[in-house]
């Protein structure tokens, strides 16, 4: 997935299986509004090996301070999909 703003790329990476840091395993679920308003909620849980989780979280923390809205695109198996706005919510790892 490619973000239109470089500062937002860590968000795109976290949403993608092919980001800068690849997960060891992940699962995701999506829900679309019944009224067909275009509202969609996507939840993704990913596991990373080594320092991967720390790298993703650090990138998200930095990006979310400056990336308030973005456009992006993903190209997989010949199809293109787009995301217009993403709000990422995460829990910082405890020390």
| Average pLDDT of every residue of the chain | 75
Q: Where are the domains of the chain?
A: 2-83
pLDDT-derived band of residue 95, with 50, 70 and 90 as boundaries?
A: very low
79 forms bridges with which residues in the sheet? 76
Average pLDDT rounded to a whole number, residues 80-89: 55
Highest-confidence segment of 15-19, 42-46, 70-74, 89-93:
42-46
CA distance 9 to 40: 20
Pairwise CA distance, residues 89 & 92, whole Å: 10
Is pLDDT above 70 for 86? no
């Amino acid at each position: 997935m490619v973000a239109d703003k470089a500062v937002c790329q860590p968000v795109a990476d976290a949403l993608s299986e092919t980001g800068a840091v690849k997960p060891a395993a992940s699962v995701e679920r999506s829900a679309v509004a019944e009224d067909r308003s275009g509202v969609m909620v996507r939840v993704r849980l990913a596991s990373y090996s080594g320092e991967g989780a720390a790298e993703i979280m650090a990138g998200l923390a930095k990006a979310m301070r400056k990336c308030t809205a973005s456009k992006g695109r993903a190209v997989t198996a010949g199809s293109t999909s787009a995301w217009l706005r993403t709000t990422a919510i995460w829990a910082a790892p405890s020390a």
